[in-house]
Structure 1
């Protein structure tokens, strides 16, 4: 059972979720633009990591 979040904590959590969402989008876009397979893979892995972190953070809102 999650404890009740304060308004400040909730706002911080929303900002973190938005930042990871934006990071995911940017990294995916960069990965789509590069041709070097190693750099593409690195960017895709970083994008997935940002997406995973976003999902973990969103679980605190449930």
Structure 2
């Protein structure tokens, strides 16, 4: 993998931070949700966002 320049690293960190925010919000929504089907969908979205965040973080390492 090529070395990332400063702008690319900054953009990755911004995307990772955005995913962290989305994960937190989706977790809160899922906890507050009373509809089982919607709750399951939100939990899947949390997992998807966590996976994407991890993939983005792998570019920094």
What interval of TM-score do these two structures reach, taking the shorter chain for normalisation?
over 0.9
Could you list the structure 1 runs, at least 4 aligned residues long, displaced by more than 6 angstroms after superposition. none
TM-score by length of 2: 0.96
Aligned 1:7-46 pairs, distance under 5 A? 7-46=6-45
Question: Which ranges of structure 2 fall in alignment gaps of 5 or more residues?
Answer: none
Provide the rounded CA distance (Å) in 2 between the counterparts of 1:39 and 1:12: 32
Count the aligned residue pairs: 61
Task: Compute the RMSD of aligned alpha carbons.
Answer: 0.5
TM-score by length of 1: 0.95
- Report the Cα offset of residue 3 of structure 1: 1.1
Secondary structure of the corresponding residue to residue 40 of structure 1: helix
